[in-house]
Amino acid sequence: MTMSLETLIEELRAELSNTWDPAERRLLIAELDLARAELQVIIAQLSGARDSEPPF
């Protein structure tokens, strides 16, 4: 799962760097933030962190 999230994050970053439409940029930024948060939760769960609840 983490590998697909990492791939998604890279794809979103690439899309973000190639778009000029403000509405599309806001959407991509929101999707990127969500994917990064999900990845952080998964990493915390895998590392055995105590507080592995989603930050949202």
Question: Distance between CA atoms of 44 and 24, rounded to whole angstroms?
Answer: 30
SS3 content of the chain, % helix, strand, coil (to 5): 75, 0, 25
pTM of the model as a whole: 0.77
Q: Give residue limits of the domains in the chain.
A: 2-47
Query: How does pLDDT run across 15-36, given as a tens digit for each residue?
Result: 999 999 999 999 999 999 999 9
Is residue 38 pLDDT above 80, yes or no?
Answer: yes
